Structure 1
Amino acid sequence: MDIVREVAGKGGVARRRELEKAGFSGHEILKAVQDGRLSRPIRGVYVTPDADPALLAAACVKAELACVNAAERLGLWILTKPRFIHVCVDHGRPLEGNFRVHRSAKQLTPLDICLQCMRCLPELEALCVVESAVVKRLVTLQQLRSRTGGARDRKLRRIVGMIDPHSQSILETAARYRLKAGGFSVQTQVYVKGVGRLDLFVEGILGIEADGREHHTNAKEFEEDRRRGNVLMLNGTPMLRATYELIVNRPEEFIELVRRGIAKYRPTKVAG
């Protein structure tokens, strides 16, 4: 067993009791600090040089990550970086630092984290987190529905009702949300012969592909993307490409582009 690897596997931050539970003796822990392999910012907390800053900040105030920060640790979809470090404690004492405090006396499950996000975050950001938890099979729709039946859970039920378990990316989720808020009828992951699946299909007329910066990772994917575009054009299926910047930061412009595209390609009614 390597103590540095053990700490690194926990985000670069570990408490003494965690290391002892993993089988490391007090002597091994002390030696790792003396050798410079680990550092001890406060008593009982040991870190690697590349420790997760949010995790470290939480450990130093004897708290656990919660809400959007805990969701990020689970690999869920985070639309925007949080302004505060969301932490969970089981006491009412104030914390000094850039924290948003949630109360819980138990270790958070993925379901607990989703509920926190739905109560705390703006609707679209919460949807991205919770939809990804369903997509990644960390929670189920049934679990979410069973925990959002209270009289004060109307906002949560609205978010759960928006979840598409077949979503392929955070940008697809955000684009679908914007389009439905704009009053459009939207289909997801629509199969087109010779092309494969389109992220979104609006009003049965306009295809939408949500492209992140990492969309083209190599020349082969670039060529395949162009081939798909050519087939769509020859089939008479118009398509728009939408980036993170357009969907997230310029939603009005995104919706206007879609309106114009649909208006341009909507079939003209023939007078009878």
Structure 2
Amino acid sequence: MDIVDFLRSRHGVATTKTLYTAGFSRRALAKAVGSGRVARLHRGVYVSKGADPDVVAAFRANGKLTCVSAARFYGLWTLHDVADLHLSCGTGLARRRIVHHGQCIHPDHPYLPVAGVADVLLHALRCRPELEALVMVQAAVSQALLGPDFLRSKLPGNRNGRLRAIVDLVLPRADSLLEVLAHTHFTRAGLEVQMHVDVPGVGEVDCLIEDCLIVELDGETHFEAKQVKKDHYRDNASIRGGRLSLHYYYADVVYHPQRMVDEVLEVLANREAGRFGPFRYIAGPPPS
């Protein structure tokens, strides 16, 4: 493999030790630098054009990316883009546009200046708002990167009670961040919620609320014509089976959760009051 291609496989940055371990000689490295294809970032670190700016910044600061800045390296869900860089720096010195986190105590990323997933999540739990931290933890659990019990064991005592409560919101299974967020909002409204329920005649649904209302959480694939048609037939089947059905999208769950909850409560109240139609339909021949 060419040295530039190797660097690109490492997000454009690598240490001298990494390059030598990969089989590149001192001469090959010097030649790449001399040709301008590779540049020396600082002692012992080399970069290629188009290197990942966050990884470069971590090397410059002699730190490790962590919290939300490390989420993408582990495929963790995030709710919002964050402008500041979150680092665990050996010096702990304040730097402009850098949020400094504490020491990393778990194994790091194998070749990038990125904290290990355990430290990333512990830092996020202490740093980010509740729901932002929750979706990161949920993504890690869903990928089996670690388990909730492990995180709880790292958060002992009364002072970490709030953080353990966030971990307690994690679901055994969540296929998207919408599911864990919706479950949190609905249960906090006092509703009985079952996730990933197999409803006869309909199939598996995202949420079944109070055993009578199906709530589907639709991602981008649900805008495809084939999927829209499938969803409509599933809605028909759920109504024939005596259950109502609602659909919500990313913006509803993430940006307007209270409106979503209020609508669900309104539908449940109307159902309880028998307001879904003034006439009872009786199958059979029309009256003569």
TM-score (norm 1): 0.87
> Distance in 2 between the 1:249 and 1:63 partners?
33
Letter in 1 for 2:142: V
Greater radius of gyration (CA): 2
1:116 lines up with 2:123 in the alignment: yes
- 1:31 to partner: Cα distance: 3.0
CA spacing shift, 1:187–1:46, aligned 2, 3 Å: same
The 5 Å alignment of 1:41-190 reads: 41-95=41-95, 97-104=96-103, 106=105, 107=108, 108-190=115-197
Letter in 2 for 1:133: A
Question: Which of 208, 213, 232 pairs up with 2:238?
Answer: 232
Could you say what secondary structure the match of 1:215 adopts?
A: helix
Aligned CA-pair RMSD? 2.2
8 Å contact from structure 1 (residues 205, 265) kept in 2: no
8 Å contact from structure 2 (residues 68, 124) kept in 1: yes
For these two proteins, the number of residue pairs brought into alignment is 266
Could you say what secondary structure the match of 1:91 adopts?
A: coil
1:10 lines up with 2:10 in the alignment: yes
> Distance in 1 between the 2:224 and 2:7 partners?
34
Could you say what secondary structure the match of 1:129 adopts?
A: helix
Letter in 2 for 1:225: D
Could you say what secondary structure the match of 2:204 adopts?
A: strand
- Unaligned stretches of 5+ in structure 2? 109-114, 275-288
Q: Specify the alignment match of 1:250 in structure 2.
A: 256
Q: Which stretch of structure 1 is more off in the superposition, 174-183 or 219-228?
A: 219-228
- 1:90 to partner: Cα distance: 2.0
Could you say what secondary structure the match of 2:246 adopts?
A: strand
- 1:219 to partner: Cα distance: 4.5
Q: Which stretch of structure 1 is more off in the superposition, 164-173 or 256-265?
A: 256-265
- 1:87 to partner: Cα distance: 0.7
> Distance in 2 between the 1:83 and 1:204 partners?
42
- 1:166 to partner: Cα distance: 1.0
8 Å contact from structure 1 (residues 211, 242) kept in 2: yes
8 Å contact from structure 1 (residues 205, 266) kept in 2: no
Q: Which stretch of structure 1 is more off in the superposition, 254-263 or 220-229?
A: 220-229
> Distance in 2 between the 1:179 and 1:115 partners?
26
8 Å contact from structure 1 (residues 13, 47) kept in 2: yes
8 Å contact from structure 1 (residues 210, 242) kept in 2: yes
CA spacing shift, 1:234–1:150, aligned 2, 3 Å: same
TM-score (norm 2): 0.83
Q: What do residues 224-258 of structure 1 show as CA deviations (whole Å, max 9, x unaligned)?
A: 33332222232232121111111111122112111
- 1:43 to partner: Cα distance: 4.6
- Percent sequence identity over matched residues? 36
8 Å contact from structure 1 (residues 90, 105) kept in 2: no
> Distance in 2 between the 1:38 and 1:234 partners?
65
> Distance in 2 between the 1:65 and 1:109 partners?
9
> Distance in 2 between the 1:162 and 1:232 partners?
28
CA spacing shift, 1:41–1:159, aligned 2, 3 Å: same
